Structures are given as C-alpha cells and as structure tokens.
Amino acid sequence: MNSISPNVGHNSQPEEFYRIKRLPPYVFAEVNRMKAEYRAEGVDIIDFGMGNPDENTPKHIVDKLIETVQKPRTHRYSTSRGISGLRRAQAGYYQRRFGVTLDPESEIVATLGSKEGLANLAMAITAPGDVMLTPNPSYPIHPYGFMIAGGALRHIPALHNGRFDPEAYLREIDRAVHHSVPRPTALVAHGLCGRQQAADRGADADQVLPRLRCLHADSGGCGDRAERPARLRW
C-alpha cells in the first residue's frame, strides 16, 4: 500500500526559498527595469550602467577565438582548475603588471568570471553564522555571495564625506573586528582598500587586520606587493 505524506505535494512548494529571502533586490536588475520603463515613455537615456565595453573586441582576439573553436579537441570539458598554459599566462601577467608572484599550480584557478569565482569561494570557506566584513559600497556579489553561503554580513563604510580615506576606513575595520561576535572570519578588500594604499597615507594596517583572511575582490589586482590577491592558503 502506497502512502503520500501530507507535507509533500503540489501545494507544498515554498513561495520563497530561505536563501533568496535573505537577498535584497539586485541593483543592476532594478536599474534595467527603470531604464526599460523610461524608454517605454520615450525618454532618451545615456546608459552608464554595468561598464559594458563600448568598443569592439580587438581583431586578433576574435581571430584566435575562431581558430581555437575550430579545433575538435577544444570541444571537450576543461580541467577543473583551467588549462596549465592559461594559468601560467595569468601568473606572468600578475608578475609583469603588479610585481606579484603567484604559483600557477597552487594559487590560480580559472573561473567563468570574477563573480562566479567569488561566489564559489564564499561557499567553500563560509560556515553558517560566520561574520564577514565587506566594504560598502561594493559590487553586489562581494557581500551577497557570503550571504547566500550562510554568513552574517557586517558592512564597512568605504567612503567618508564622499571620498575614500584610508585612516577612516581602517578605523571602521578596527571597530568591526573588536565589536563583532563571533570574531570576523574574513575581510573582502577592493583594490582601493588594500594595505599599500593605507600605508601610503601613514596608516598601520597590521594593527587593525590581525589574522583576518583578506580576500581581494578586485579582479584586475590591486598592485599590493605585500599580499597575494589570488592566494587561497591562509
């Protein structure tokens, strides 16, 4: 005899899922909705939205993509970390541009993009209730990747009187570190919030970032030679 639980059925689907309920509206989706409404009313809009390129992709890149996709061996799954040649090239780029030495075997992973990489990292290192320090303002994925992973956010004001002030920013971090329970697990740092920028203004980052995991969210690197932006070993 078969039985069906009264809690299982067509009407048992929750209207909202727990993780989704924790998220605020996605700012870019809201901006797109507003643009669509104004355009429907005939309003001329100059779009300074998500920073999409306003120039064509260089021809040599397009040609190389066409050449590569025509090779049957590229129609397979890639290795999980990304092909070794790509990771070596990324290590060389960081060394040339930022003076940062990275090990392509242990410190570089190829992802679909910086947002996907940060979201997966958040899921990997966040336990339920972990306190994460994130700058405000920031791109949505920087704080909300950790929110989806079950972390508790503490926003750190990055602007004071409309400008970034390293000393004021570090004071805010110091306050958050000493007044958060439990102790913060990690700090998401934009390029403008790195130790080197603070040191340039005479602020001592080592006094206010004790043993915090510093996760650089700037996908292009921050030029901070004292730290390794892609480092995942702490």
**What's the pLDDT tens digit per position in 11-49?**
566 677 878 888 888 888 888 899 999 999 999 988 776
Instruction: Measure the N-to-C terminal CA separation of the chain; round to a whole number of Å.
Output: 56
Can you state the percent helix, strand and coil of the chain, rounding each to 5? 40, 10, 50
DSSP H helices in the chain: 18-21, 27-40, 59-69, 84-98, 114-125, 141-148, 166-179, 195-200
Give the burial string for 84-99 (b: 16+ CB within 10 Å, else e): eeebeebbeebeeebe
Reply yes or no on domain 113-216 having CATH 3.40.630.10.
no
**What's the pLDDT tens digit per position in 104-136?**
999 998 888 888 888 898 999 999 889 999 988
Which residues lie below 8 Å from residue 28, measured CB to CB, with a gap of 6+? 49, 50, 140
Instruction: Report whether pLDDT(214) > 60.
Output: no
Q: Where are the domains of the chain?
A: 76-110, 113-216
